[in-house]
Structure 1
Amino acid sequence: MRKSGIESKMLVRYGAPSEGSDVFAMSDSYSFLSKGLSVVKRKLHFKDKYCAYEVSDPAVDNFYEFYNSLDFEPDIIVLHWVSGFISHKHIEWLSNHSTAKKIFWFSMDMAPFTGGCHYSWGCEGYGSSCKQCPATTNILASKLVSNYFAEKAQIIQKCDIDLIVPNRFVESQAKLSALGFSDIHTCYLPIDSNVFSVNQTREFDKEIVILFGAANFKNKRKGLQEFIKAIDYLSEQVPFESMAEHVKVLIPGVSEEIRRLFKFDCEFIEYANSDEELSNIYSQAHIFVSTSLEDSGPMMVVEALMSGLPVLSFSTGIAKDVISEGDNGYCSPIGDSKSVAENLITYLNLTPQEKRDMSLCARNSVIEKMDVKKHSESFLKILNII
């Protein structure tokens, strides 16, 4: 925003910005008891896989005072990741008491347009009223969700809020929502093409490196078990000597507990703590595998493509937007590990030149949509600034 000459400030839940910064962090207003009760509430009332943080986690209790202390009068407010930070009642207050003429809500997952779950696992109850919610464990919680949905819908419609989504897949989900957003816009998240670049020295006629990664391997949503099954099936179809000599599986950030789950001898490396470290990991690989079962991204899919890695993925999330079958990767039915393995075999059987062509296609397929400059132009156009 600032590079485009637009005065902007950011209000965040956590952090310690430097003096004179345009980033403002709130002090921790949660009591230890409040934090503990929110965890207990979530465990008692909601199933883990739905990530119903928006309903169970309390918003900050000093938001109004903090906002009023800021010396800033915005014309536009963009909400981002606000679960456990800003509630729908805070949003209504901002609409009534701030100088903003328009509020946008940038949706990183499904939470902004559902009754509180970040991932619905196929449930489309948010298309009506979120009654009989499958994320809940009892009648009380189900009632809590439907009431929350009704209150949220009333406020979103009253405040004339536009929704911004990160890809067409999430857009298709958001269009089902009965919350009543004024409009829905798609704006791909930016990937720095200078950081995530193609390894020009990558060779395709020797060992092929398969990369698998996720932010949290213990999260069932990320499909660790499905990846293990795919590699097991691959090792059964490809002679052991050939696998050991020509194929390496590279996995960053894996605990000893998870390492023991693999039968095939993988190479485990340290977790990446920066984009630069992550880019270096991509540069060591030839192809990236994502077995996420329920996802609005993941970001690693487009980072890998930007780095020149074809992607094998289940048909969910951003993979449905960006993967062109056989050109820059392959999609498999969700949960079908055998299909993932078969697609890996297809890739391994390509000639070195065909693999090189896929690498070039991978980067070209996303650079026009997701480079930082393109994102900035799209975002400002949505905000009606350009």
Structure 2
Amino acid sequence: MKVYEINVVCGKGSTGRIVTDIYHSILENGGKCRIAYGRYKADTSINAIKFIDDLDVYLHAILTRLTGKHGLFSSKATKRLIEDIKQFDPDIIHLHNIHGYYLNYKLLFEFLKEYDRPVVWTFHDCWPFTGHCAYYDITGCDKWKTKCSKCENFKAYPASYVDSSESNYQLKKKLFTEIDNLTIVTPSKWLADEVKLSFLKDKSTKVIANGIDLSKFNPLESDFRKIHGIENKKMILGVASPFGKRKGFSDFIKLKELLDEEYVICMVGLTKKQLEKLPEGIIGIERTDSIKQLAEIYSTADIFLNLTYEDNFPTTNIESLACGTPVLTYATGGSPSIIDKTCGRVIEKGNLFETVEEIKRMIKTPLERQNCIIRSKMFDRKLMGKNYVLLFEQLLKEKD
């Protein structure tokens, strides 16, 4: 079995780690795999190709701003990608995030239609079935169910100065529905249900939960509290990258005003600009790719707080559970499905007063850390990889 994976990043960030975890599972089961990616660097031990240079990525971003036609540039790089696919000659092509200023989806899907190999596409957000947005929860828009037009959110990622949502929607609908042997995978039932309301409703859709490396995310001792002088504080942790409006940045700032002095908030994934504006009483840390550092911070927190307004299946929840820290999350997307009553709580989106009361209840009557660890085992990367391999084998058997 030969599988060709395509994603914006390789081994970096949540989707990048998911891709490399699947890569290793394929190899462990006797298959071959190659990863094509567009941004940052990959581990040299991985059979991977970065098929676009950074200058072209920047150009794609600029053209997206000027035209609103994200994903319709980088033609030369995409032709290079297509030639690499042909050379590898895969049995299955596995797509992940094909947005991110690095490929031309029109060229890619025209090729996939003719190439006639099974295509698995893992949705990490809602971009594949909208005319612009990766998420639409904040605006409350449901135009994507019928036809996107007059977008209220075109200045959000992938940001543009003009609204091209209607033509983007029509083109995506045409290209994506023309792939007969397309199987969609979503990490959450929530996203699978959204897909069934979109123009992709007739495509086969499977749910495979994301997984993490439980050998790296586990309870770790550290001197984090001593370094920051918070040994006797109740620590509330938030982790996101980027830590913007979608991830509840403003809510964390407001929350500090509602909590008394025995609490300290720690936010990981901030920019230098955000760090400069943090109020007193909030510990700010820049984004880190060090899993050990993240695990140490998760482990020392009393509660992991996820104030996300738009999300699919946040692996930060899983990472926290694996380190023994209970999760308190807004009722957003697939985030609540990661926890149960033994290891976390769900609160109304945007209700900071309810958030404060639930924090106090969880501090007064702590959830068992061992229950968090037990729950995290449902989201082992090995189980995720196994489920993908089983899906690939099933598709190849059906093809034969």
Q: TM-score, normalised by structure 2?
A: 0.78
Q: Which residue of 2 aligns with 1:377?
A: 386
Measured in 2, the distance between the counterparts of 1:128 and 1:213 equals: 35
Measured in 2, the distance between the counterparts of 1:181 and 1:90 equals: 23
State the one-letter code of the partner of 1:155: L
Please point out which of 19, 27, 31 is paired with 1:2: 27
Q: Which residue of 1 aligns with 2:184?
A: 163
Shift in CA distance, 34/14, structure 1 to aligned 2, threshold 3 Å: closer
Of residues 146-155 and 23-32 in structure 1, the stretch that sits farther from structure 2 once superposed is: 23-32
Aligned residues between the structures: 354
Measured in 1, the distance between the counterparts of 2:236 and 2:57 equals: 44
Q: Which residue of 1 aligns with 2:174?
A: 154
State the one-letter code of the partner of 2:211: P
Q: Which residue of 2 aligns with 1:91?
A: 108
- Which sections of structure 1, spanning at least 5 residues, go unmatched? 46-53
Alignment pair present for 1:208 and 2:234: yes
Q: Which residue of 2 aligns with 1:348?
A: 363
Measured in 1, the distance between the counterparts of 2:58 and 2:39 equals: 19
1:211 aligns to what SS in structure 2?
A: strand
Alignment pair present for 1:58 and 2:73: yes
State the one-letter code of the partner of 1:150: Q
- Which sections of structure 2, spanning at least 5 residues, go unmatched? 1-25, 156-160, 226-230
Q: Which residue of 1 aligns with 2:298?
A: 282
Matches within 5 A, 1:1-386: 1-14=26-39, 22-28=47-53, 34-35=59-60, 37-38=62-63, 40-41=65-66, 55=70, 58-69=73-84, 71-83=87-99, 84-98=101-115, 100-121=116-137, 122-136=140-154, 141-142=162-163, 144-160=164-180, 161-180=182-201, 182-199=203-220, 207-217=233-243, 219-235=244-260, 240=261, 243=262, 247-254=263-270, 258-259=274-275, 265-269=281-285, 271-325=287-341, 327-350=342-365, 355=366, 357-368=367-378, 370-385=379-394
Measured in 1, the distance between the counterparts of 2:113 and 2:258 equals: 58
State the one-letter code of the partner of 1:119: Y
Rg bigger for which structure? 1
Q: Are the counterparts in 2 of residues 55 and 145 from structure 1 also a CA contact under 8 Å?
A: no
Shift in CA distance, 248/14, structure 1 to aligned 2, threshold 3 Å: closer
Of residues 25-34 and 107-116 in structure 1, the stretch that sits farther from structure 2 once superposed is: 25-34
Measured in 2, the distance between the counterparts of 1:37 and 1:200 equals: 45
Q: Are the counterparts in 2 of residues 60 and 86 from structure 1 also a CA contact under 8 Å?
A: yes
- Measured after TM superposition, the shift of residue 31 of structure 1 is 5.1
State the one-letter code of the partner of 1:153: K
RMSD: 3.1
- Measured after TM superposition, the shift of residue 193 of structure 1 is 0.9
Q: Give deviations 1:241-263, integer Å, cap 9, x for gaps.
A: xx1xxx43333354575456555
Q: Give deviations 1:88-116, integer Å, cap 9, x for gaps.
A: 32233332443x52111111111112223
1:251 aligns to what SS in structure 2?
A: strand
Identity %: 20
- Measured after TM superposition, the shift of residue 323 of structure 1 is 2.5
Measured in 1, the distance between the counterparts of 2:44 and 2:340 equals: 47
Measured in 2, the distance between the counterparts of 1:281 and 1:32 equals: 33
2:149 aligns to what SS in structure 1?
A: coil
Shift in CA distance, 15/282, structure 1 to aligned 2, threshold 3 Å: closer
Q: Are the counterparts in 2 of residues 163 and 183 from structure 1 also a CA contact under 8 Å?
A: yes
